[in-house]
Chains A and B, each alone.
Chain A
Amino acid sequence: MSTYKSPAIRRYTIRLAVLMSLYVILIFAAGWTFRHSAIAGLPAYVLAITPALPIIGVFWAVMRLLVEESDEYVRMLHVRQCLFATGFCLMVMTVWEFLQNYDLVPAGNGGFGAAFFWFVGLGLGAVYNRITLGTIGSCP
């Protein structure tokens, strides 16, 4: 086994764990607050946006991974995964939007927004790397 351990992947994993923990806390805190208090106006907008911040943080963490990864081949695998995820997400959201435009599916997204499909796309991007290049690298 090669002893190469990517410091960038280690930092990414720590950042991801912190951000996801924060997300779980904030999503439950926001839900509980909206159910148990009559919050309205500007504070309601701020509270509603709060759980989105760790998700945005995950996008930042992925982009930092691309910047910090020193192994150029592994970095290329990550970039391919991100491009695949972006294409997949845009495709799903575009199709969904048109289905909604013609009232073939209900309005709203049931909690599955663009971020969800982008993260699914990252997973599928790893599979794409595996099929086309024979390796997934170090999966973000």
Chain B
Amino acid sequence: MKALELAQRLKARFGDSVSEPAEFRGEITLQAADPEQIPEICLFAKKELGFDYLVDITSVDNYGDDPRFVLIYHLYGYRHLQYLRLKTAVSEEKGEAPSVIGVWRTADWHEREIYDMMGIRFRGHPDLRRILMWDGYPYFPLRKDFPLAGRPSDLPEVAFSEPAPQAGGPFVTIAGGKDTISREPRVRIPETDALETNARLERRRDIKEAHGHAYGPGPIETKKPKDQR
């Protein structure tokens, strides 16, 4: 059975809420008037028309148009080997559509990606979090009003924003020293010896001034290391 016949069966079932099938480059597109009907249409397409494989869900931002967003579902059937494209418009004010995760489980990550990139929420999705950007990222990058160069935002709470469990311990490299020697834990002198060490370093500096060279780390800061949690 050809995709056009399948689309016409779907049209016959849903009547005026689905547009006439449109063809471009041999692909059939159906437009659903109301996004709320999408799960019902999808379920019909899966159960009755054999579209058992959801290839992809994607979204388009028609910035300046009303309704602004378009959701696009690509369906495929393993028995009849036909593609069908299903489209529906979502307005900016509403910014929400029902999830089709109950029809195909593969919709899970596709819907999360659309939420992440375009900011359309999916009602009924069990775990609607950002997927490619980090949690707490404030923008939706694929919207047309987001610039290509990006916008500054706070860094996420990454693992290294807090001191590591062994930080300051005897075998841990000290971050941010001015050279390899000052980062090397084995040449570090314990905190209690710091004053004495600094005195020694001063003596060494005197030697350097006298002889033109000296080796070893610079003076150690005597203040306490940052409190560990």
Indicate, yes or no, whether A interacts with B. no
Give me the interface of B with A, judged by CB distance under 8 Å: none
